[in-house]
Amino acid sequence: MQKQPMTPDAIRDLVERVTSAPGYTRSVGTRVESAEAGRVVMSLAKNDGLLQANGFFHGGVIAGLADHAGGGAVSTAMPSGRFAVTVNLQVSFLAPAKGQSLIARARAIQVGSTIGVAHVDVASVADGVETPCAVAIVTLRGVDFPAK
């Protein structure tokens, strides 16, 4: 029996539940801005614990946001009861992230029965102006959710 696609409410619930669960994404303050099948937008406000020595967002924080957003995009394109975990994360940094927040826009570009791939654009936001700071390709594997 083939599993059904997720409903819009189930998509939002999954992304919110994973983002707010105890762990990294909750501790750094990741926010879900929007979530639909194959597309997720997430943001992260600046705080001192997320910065590198020059006061910019740390590259690991940018990569973490891209990873989580990409995982959300692929997870929302999978059948109900499946969840995507990272197999490979490739990040290219474009500019220092000097803004007050980060925004990551992720879209699933391929979702198969086992593996999915997402493209993620990350921008630094300062005074309402977005400056691209990274682009990522995230490859993920589908697992049962919740994990057993």
pLDDT, residue 145, reads 78
Q: Which residues of the chain have pLDDT under 70?
A: 1-3, 147-148
| Domains detected in the chain | 8-144 (3.10.129.10)
pTM of the predicted model, to two decimals? 0.93
pLDDT of 3: 65
Question: CA 72 → CA 43, 94, 119, 122, 126, distances in Å?
Answer: 13, 23, 11, 14, 25
What is the pLDDT, as a whole number, of residue 1?
42
